[in-house]
Amino acid sequence: MDTLRIDILNPKAKKLLKDLADLDLIAIRKEKPKEDLKAFLKRLRANEETAPSLEEITAEVEAVRAERYAKSK
């Protein structure tokens, strides 16, 4: 089974898709963007313990900036 995302430009196409669904040739599902976002956030938060803190990120950025500034002189 292939899954496609289709942007319908003409309302007649929506009618055709509904007819195909009535014939059990295709299935029409509405997307659930909230559920997708929740799953994404859950995956990100799973790595929360190993993620660097804001202070560690800031220190690294400052170190890279200092190194880059020293090279440009």
* Sequence-distant (≥ 6) Cβ neighbours of residue 6 within 8 angstroms: 17
Q: How does the average pLDDT of the chain come out, rounded?
A: 86
Query: How far is the C-alpha of 67 from the C-alpha of 34, rounded, in Å?
Result: 42
Residue type, 51: A
Q: Is the pTM of this model over 0.85?
A: no
Instruction: Tell me how crowded residue 14 is: count the other CB atoms within 10 A of its CB.
Output: 13
Per-residue pLDDT of 45-57, as tens digits, reads 787 777 788 888 8
